[in-house]
Structure 1
């Protein structure tokens, strides 16, 4: 199945070319993060189709996954 992936801030280099990635049916956010070569501890916020989700959330065909690192500031 195909999902759209956008990685933000310090994770932006991990966004796949064209913004889409083919993954197995039933793949979790954690499995996609591993496939992209990102350390799970580097991802602090995950959105699927605009809703906050967890590493265990299962993706479906056509989902949009957004991955964000911890954001610091002050």
Structure 2
């Protein structure tokens, strides 16, 4: 199935900004994150089709997954 993956801020370094990728049925957000070598403790916001999700969210054909790192500031 085709999923659009969007990476933001530091997650783009050495990767990509937006890419359409093929995944098998029943793939979860966690599996995509692991496949991109993004440490789970660095994840801030995860959205599927503009809705907040957790790592165990199962993706479906045509979904758009957006991954944002934790943001620091002060």
TM-score (norm 2): 0.89
Question: Where does the alignment leave 5 or more consecutive residues of structure 1 unmatched?
Answer: none
Normalized per residue, which structure has more strand? Answer: 2
Normalized per residue, which structure has more helix? Answer: 1
What is the CA deviation profile of residues 13-32 of structure 1, one whole-angstrom value per residue up to 9, with x for unaligned ones? Answer: 3337x611111101000000
Count of aligned residue pairs for this structure pair: 73
Question: Where does the alignment leave 5 or more consecutive residues of structure 2 unmatched?
Answer: none
SS in 1 for 2:5: strand
SS in 1 for 2:67: strand
Aligned CA-pair RMSD = 1.4
